[in-house]
Structure 1
Amino acid sequence: MEPTVTLSDLVAQSSRLPRVPAEAADAYRSVMQALVVEVSETLAADSDYREFLCGNPPPLAENHRNHALFMDEVLTSGSYDLLAVTLPWLYHAYHARGVHYDYFPAELRLWQRAIAKTLPPEAAAPINAVYDWLLEHHGQFVALAEQQAARPPVRPPVFADVLDVLTEALLGGDDARVLALCRGVKDGGASLPELLLHLIYPVLQRVGDLWEDGRISVADEHQATAIVNRVLGALYYEETFPEQVRGRALVASSLNQLHEIGAWMVATCLELDGWDVDYLGANVPPDALLQKARRVQPDLIALSIAMAFSLRETRALIAALRAQLPGVKILIGGQAFLRLPALVDDMGADAYQPDCAAAMQWARAVRRGESR
């Protein structure tokens, strides 16, 4: 009997990949847009590739741009464990929508051909060796994707009964019912931060799992997120905020991140704890955030990073913030770090916190001088 594939084994195997020379990684970055165009046009024109998609539309150029940004992070940082933890999730999410597993090696070979065509041989060879590793471990990615599909549902221990009803109302598009349920939880004695941590975050996780499993559509997922935004807006304006100000904070989601719930939760918890918060929302360009930070001179900056392909730009942003606002404290969080916490180590931030309540407690301690 073949042994069970484990993610830790795959991560260990990825660590044996040789580091791509810096010159090759720089060359890849310089031609990323050309590679995106080459792969996108080839895929769109060839019916053989479309058969693997099983009726799904060909991936948009944006998907391929995200692939290029992700590989740029991997090649530059040498964090090959990112490949090991991300590919099974990607296989699972695509396959749940009917995409055949054979699509992935076919697309990876397209990238290899585009790289060999666009880059000089001395740069293309070490980069395509990484793609070779992906192709060699295709079967393991499939096995891990299947294991993810069979995982049991995670039920948070707090508010579990309300969570089921809230999920049904949310997926049914019943925003009035969602608002009534949340108000009922608050009337029962829960604070807004507790509601965010133990009900809103878990229900959005559940919606995300349903989307990954192909059980709801992109439209369903977007509608659920929109309802949560509207409900949280209503609850926000029912709160009483402290008059005493602890300090000034700036909170934002990273560039290319379109969901902002996580950052909104952190901003709101900080406000309820007495911070004067400038909240910038989703998909904030680094230059705009840096300009805003210089103008308002915050004591604390909190950044939410959802996807690994935003790590490079966020790392550069943090370095720029350090150079121009040397006294500011920088906090990071987001989905990008949940699968691979070690990514936090080289971001240059003062701390990583996994949720809004932990972020609030850390910020309070920093303001009191208890943490550095």
Structure 2
Amino acid sequence: MEKEDLLKTALELSAVTNDVYNEYSTKRDLLVAEINQIMSNRLDIIELVGSNNIDMMKDNHANHAKFVQSIIKRYNPEVLINTVIWVFKAYMSRGFHENYWSAQLNTWVTILKRELSPKAYEMIFPLYNWFIVNIPHFTVLAHKQLSDNPNNTKIKNEKLRESI
């Protein structure tokens, strides 16, 4: 799937109501604290994020929540797609495994279902479902951009040396 195909599917999503936005905004820090605790306690966390990347993972969770807060208020499909591809590319180049995204996003869904009102969950879940369904496409696009960029050779060589 190309970026243009992702855009077609993203056009089916929309912003949420003000009350849902306000609820998410109010609970955002709680949601981040919960995902940090759950993900940090996973037995496979090092395999998912790489060694010495727990703080980076926590930063990602905080940034993710801020981005979701922004995108559910002022929905822009192009910004959504470009940002997600950039995030995949940036974190994968730092040692995050492709399986991290599924683990993280499914954990977000569990937390959102537990912490948000049914109405808020119902309005926000389509975005998370879209994230989850498109993980393989974001992964491919991120790998493609990483391999097309000659500056990434240095990062790849550093990661190779770290793994030896």
2:129 to 111, 129, 132: 132
**CA distance 1:55–1:30, shift in 2 (3 Å):** same
Structure 1 residues 212, 117: CA separation in 2 closer, same or farther (over 3 Å shift)?
farther
Distance in structure 2 (CA, Å) of the matches to 1:77 and 1:212: 37
Which residue of 2 is the match for residue 14 of structure 1?
10
Question: 2: distance between equivalents of 1:144 and 1:73?
Answer: 23
What TM-score does the superposition give when structure 2 sets the normalisation length? 0.84
- Kept after mapping to 2: 8 A contact 1:92/1:148: yes
Amino acid aligned to 2:60: N
The two structures have a TM-score, normalised by structure 1, of 0.39
Match of 2:162 in 1: none
**In 1, Cα distance between the equivalents of 2:154 and 2:110?**
30
CA distance in 1, matches of 2:145, 2:118: 38
Select which of 146, 150, 153 maps to 1:149. Answer: 146
Amino acid at match of 2:79: L
Structure 2 residue corresponding to 1:62, chosen from 53, 59, 64: 59
What's the counterpart of residue 49 of structure 2? 53
1:103 aligns with 2:100: yes
**2: CA distance, partners of 1:49 / 1:65:** 17
Q: Select the residue among 33, 36, 39 that pairs with 1:40.
A: 36
Structure with bigger RCO (C-alpha 8 Å, 6+ apart): 2
Instruction: Show structure 2 runs of 5+ residues with no match.
Output: 160-164
- 1:133 & 1:71 partners in 2: Cα distance? 13
Deviates more, 1:79-88 or 1:27-36: 79-88
Q: Kindly state the Cα deviation for residue 30 of structure 1 after the two structures are TM-superposed.
A: 0.8
| Root mean square deviation, CA, Å | 2.3
Q: How many matched pairs?
A: 158
Shift in Å at residue 79 of structure 1?
Answer: 1.6
Structure with more of its chain in helix, by fraction: 2
Moved more, 58-67 or 113-122: 58-67
Segments of 4+ moved more than 6 angstroms: none
Identity score, percent: 25
Say which SS state the counterpart of residue 148 (structure 2) adopts.
coil
